[in-house]
Chains A and B, each alone.
Chain A
């Protein structure tokens, strides 16, 4: 699976949008971009995933560049409870639509939301 690069840490003011970048310049055509987050001492939580189109759900939006070499996770109105480590992961999905299942976690971005 392609490697991702994320900033080590970011700050965001409560109520503002948090924009978390991820670089995945070696991504291949059958790799999806996934985002998870991990609040301290808890298991990771799935946020969103996408292939090439922008995606939005109740938690966040995912913006993928046209060349798919980078993406941005957007938390539109960050709250203190969004303070966590955010992981950007690229993951193969095979032609049959069933992924290989493995998630390879990097170091992620520590997002701190402050009052």
Chain B
């Protein structure tokens, strides 16, 4: 399966600042990547679908101006949490799909803590 990396693995930032999370598909050209969020002891929730060269599609209730997604190449998508607040503290996970999306391959996740 595809190998997906995320950077950083952990980040701590102060309230009001912005933080960027990178998701890389190391061995697979991903036209579509997905971003999920997982709060403690909860399941994964899809935030948005990132399409290479076009605007991301956000799930209902996810603020597109707060969670900026850029998918400029077939191997890189970034999620920027703007003006982060403590309630944005969460585990952020990206995934890529194979050509038919029969399988999705997930990154290791990024733990964001906003103080």
Contact = CB atoms under 8 A, between A and B. Distances in A.
Q: Do A and B come from one complex?
A: yes
Interface string B88-99: 000101010100
B46 A43 contact: no
A53 interface: no
A107 B105 contact: no
Would you call the interface of chain B mostly helix, strand, loop, or mixed?
strand
A106 B100 CA distance: 23
Interface residues of B, number: 26
Nearest to B43: A105
Contact of B100 (A44, A46, A97): A97
Contacts of B103: 46, 49
Would you call the interface of chain A mostly helix, strand, loop, or mixed?
loop
Contacts of B4: 43
A73 to B, nearest CB: 16
A43 B97 contact: no
Nearest to B105: A46
B43 A98 contact: no
Interface residues of A, number: 23
Contact of A43 (B1, B95, B102): B95
Interface string A40-52: 0111111001000
Contact of B46 (A42, A87, A103): A103
A103 B32 CA distance: 13
Interface of A: 32, 38, 41-46, 49, 87, 93, 97-108
